[in-house]
Structure 1
Amino acid sequence: MAALAFVRDLPEPWAPASAEELERFEIGLLSGFVLAPAPAALADGTIRGYVGHLEQIRTWFGRPLWEMEPADADAYLGKVLRNSPSGTRLARSQALTT
């Protein structure tokens, strides 16, 4: 004979996340993904650099970075950062590629 289980009500649905909450979640998620394979001795400045690059790209894009298409990256790196130092373009492209 099968035992009866108690059924409980599910909690109230959560309100949709605000744009700011979604952006914070996305940056945290992407930062963790970027830094996951990094060695444990990674300097704080390096971590801040990766996060800063992701935040700046996200601010320009205006949407979650996982929605970015190659054409969007081309526009950002080739037009927006056209006059930026090559080191800046390299660092942003590496953060985005990772």
Structure 2
Amino acid sequence: MAALAVVRDLREHWAPASAEELERFENDVLSGFVLARASAGLADGTIRGDVGHLDQIRSWLEEAMAKGPDPLHLAEVFGLDEKTAMRYADSALALLQQAAEQPSQ
């Protein structure tokens, strides 16, 4: 007996977010993070330190996006060996190309 299966792509296709949408999203995530940490009973100093780490990660990612998938820069910023940095850069480039090829809705 033959059967026919229909498979749907479950990945959502999103249009690129505007700077304002990204800022709102970052604020929502950060607010939720701070609220969760405070609810867990952590002191203000600990939360400030955690938020500082998130800001550092944000600046690294913004810098990486500005410079593109440069293996030498990745190795320097994240302390990676050259082979790993090249693998990460290749993956990032493939993701960027895939995103550019997807039709926006």
Under a length normalisation based on structure 2, what TM-score does the superposition of the two structures give? 0.33
Instruction: Give the structure with the larger helix fraction.
Output: 2
